[in-house]
Amino acid sequence: MTDDGHCQHFKLQAAFSDSDPDSCLLVMQDISELENAIELLKKQNEQLQQRLATIEQLKNRIREQSIRDPLTNLYNRRFLNEFMERELALARRNQKPLAVVMLDLDHFKQLNDQFGHQTGDKVIEMVAKHLLRQSRRTDVLFRYGGEEFLVILPNTNASQAQHLAENWRVHVEQAQVFAKHQAVNITLSAGISIYPEHGSTAFNLIQAADEALYQAKAAGRNQVVMC
């Protein structure tokens, strides 16, 4: 210990004489600077690891924010193609079906015009929550457009997809949003496509689901149509 309170480190080496076993040469070397440098390097390495972990967390947060819709916190359209390609590759490899459900709120423009965009946003948030509550853990939801949603259903056949979509439709129809002191009833229409029957690419499957959705709208809305 030095006068100013710092620890000193010494390296002690002993050398014995071959001619005189009772004698020993001791060499003491001050290695305080080396030990201090090693300790400083350890601390700097720890700080670096902490900073790298923080940077990685920030990168993950930015990545997550870039693929999420800010209003509903569902995945956004930007992430859709990337996710679809990955899920289709799994479906092909495992020879499993995959369903795509396109949903659209009925008469949403009229609702916006009558009650305002704040009410419209409130309705979109409400519908997103209902869809999430009535979905399975494997289902992945996207906000596809203004009042459009898209759901990817891995390992799901036509009858299962029809049942899920009908369940969403019923729950949304039963929900109510209050605007200007009156209840606003919401309905939605849905179109379904199935891999591989209706397409083998993300583009073809989404297009097929969109065409089925158009048929649901043309047939009177508030219903589910299979491609």
Alpha-carbon torsion, ordered 212, 215, 220, 226, to 10 deg: -40
The answer on 81 and 21 residing in a single domain is: no
Q: Does the residue 4 lie in any domain? A: no
| 25 shares a domain with 86 | no
Q: How many domains does the chain have?
A: 2
**For each of the chain's 227 residues, which pLDDT tens digit applies?**
566 666 776 676 766 666 666 666 666 777 777 777 788 788 888 887 887 777 777 776 776 778 999 999 999 998 998 999 999 999 999 999 999 999 999 999 999 999 999 999 999 999 999 999 999 999 999 999 999 999 999 999 999 999 999 999 999 999 988 888 888 889 999 999 999 999 999 999 999 999 999 999 999 999 999 98
Is 189 part of any domain? yes
Q: Based on the fold, state whether residues 14 and 57 are members of the same structural domain.
A: yes
Q: Is residue 3 part of a domain?
A: no
List of residues 6+ apart from 85 with CB closer than 8 A = 202
Residue 2 lies in a domain: no
Domain of 81 in residue numbering reads as 75-226
pTM of the shown model: 0.76
What is the CATH classification number for the domain harbouring 155?
A: 3.30.70.270
- Is 5 contained in some domain? no
211 noted as active-site residue: no
Residues 95 and 191 in one domain: yes
Name, in order, each residue with C-beta under 8 angstroms of 199's C-beta and a sequence gap of 6 or more: 193, 205, 207, 208
* Whether residue 84 is found in the same domain as residue 40: no
Which of these is catalytic: 56, 125, 147, 166? 147
Could you tell me the sign of the dihedral formed by the alpha carbons of 217, 220, 222, 225, in that order? Answer: negative
pLDDT at position 80: 94
Identify whether 80 is part of a domain: yes
Same domain, 143 and 171: yes
Domain boundary among 66, 83, 113: 66
